[in-house]
């Protein structure tokens, strides 16, 4: 599998499938390129080129001690796009990957990007502040981070059922849930904590205000990781031209539980 090197010497892994108009998939916090296994075959079969990045500290990429902020994530994404000289891109970003995609557009412009899809993204700003009262109190986030650091495997295992909203009837096998927890645990523990904190403290509202390209926002009403009232619905208001979809029975893991519906919605967005 190919690698490329960014400015600080970090080697990043990526995957490249198919031919045609390029789609660049930006993975969630702690997940890597493998999370898109229900999307890539579908879009390759529909004539698209699918490019997937393992961000630093994730998957097969190097695990440096720095670079887990949104600016570096956006710059690493830009380096991949320039390395492959991709143009006419559709960015497809899940969860914290949405912040990197939004920051990429504000830092590097949309010259190479035609459209962007935010899936269960943690936009626009998670932290509660005086001008962002809808956010989450910092003390709550720090307590959550302390639990994560104390027993990382338990933290992910305890949240797995809610991640897929299995209580709403989503059919996810115990084996698949265990597999996804292992995939989350494959990320560097240092990167896991550093990115968790950075994503919480980063205000992406200015980035969203500058998005003028076609945008798709998809969010699950039952999302426990990125509550829709804090994230998806507010993102829709900040990007009023966006195509917006809510999935009533979806949690954060909608790329698995609602893969068929999600793929169809993204394909319709690509063709619109």
> pLDDT tens digits, residue range 54-100?
999 999 999 999 999 999 999 999 999 999 999 999 999 999 999 99
> pLDDT tens digits, residue range 208-223?
999 999 999 999 999 9
Residue 180 has pLDDT above 80, yes or no: yes
DSSP one-letter string for 140-191: HHHHHHHHHHH-HHHHHHHHHHHHTTGGGT----HHHHHHHHHHHHTS-HHH
Which domain covers residue 125, as residue numbers? 3-271
Is the bond leading into 238 cis (omega within 30 degrees of zero)? no
User: 22: domain CATH number?
Assistant: 3.40.50.1820
3-state secondary structure 27-45: CCCCCCHHHHCCCHHHHHH
Question: How does the average pLDDT of the chain come out, rounded?
Answer: 97
> pLDDT tens digits, residue range 18-62?
999 999 999 999 999 999 999 999 999 999 999 999 999 999 999
> pLDDT tens digits, residue range 126-156?
999 999 999 999 999 999 999 999 999 999 9
Give the span between the Cα atoms of 52 and 65, in whole angstroms.
22
User: Has this prediction a pTM greater than 0.85?
Assistant: yes
Residues forming the active site: 95, 223, 252
Domain count, the chain: 1
Residue 183 has pLDDT above 80, yes or no: yes
- Tell me what percent of the residues of the chain surpass a pLDDT of 90: 99
Q: Return the pLDDT at 1.
A: 73
């Amino acid at each position: 599998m190919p690698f490329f090197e960014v400015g600080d010497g970090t080697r990043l892994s990526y995957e490249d499938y198919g031919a045609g108009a390029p789609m660049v998939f930006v993975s969630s916090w702690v997940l890597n390129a493998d999370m898109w296994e229900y999307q890539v075959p579908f879009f390759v079969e529909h004539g698209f080129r699918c490019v997937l990045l393992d961000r630093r500290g994730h998957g097969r990429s190097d695990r440096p001690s720095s670079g887990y902020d949104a600016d570096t994530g956006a710059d690493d994404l830009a380096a991949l796009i320039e390395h492959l000289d991709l143009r006419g891109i559709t960015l497809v970003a899940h969860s914290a990957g949405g912040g990197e995609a939004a920051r990429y557009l504000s830092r590097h412009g949309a010259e190479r990007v035609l459209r962007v899809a935010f899936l269960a993204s943690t936009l626009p700003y998670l932290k509660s502040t005086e001008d962002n009262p809808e956010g989450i109190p910092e003390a709550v986030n720090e307590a959550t981070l302390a639990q994560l650091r104390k027993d990382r495997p338990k933290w992910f295992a305890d949240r797995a059922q809610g991640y897929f909203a299995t209580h709403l009837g989503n059919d996810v096998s115990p084996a698949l849930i265990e597999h996804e927890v292992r995939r989350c645990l494959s990320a560097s523990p240092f990167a896991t904590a550093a990115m968790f904190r950075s994503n919480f403290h980063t205000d992406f509202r200015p980035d969203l205000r500058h998005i003028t390209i076609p945008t798709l926002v998809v969010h699950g009403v039952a999302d426990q990781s990125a509550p829709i009232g804090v994230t998806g619905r507010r993102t829709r208001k900040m990007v009023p031209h966006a195509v917006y979809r809510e999935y009533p029975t979806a949690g954060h893991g909608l790329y698995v539980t609602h893969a068929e519906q999600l793929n169809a919605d993204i394909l319709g967005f690509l063709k619109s």
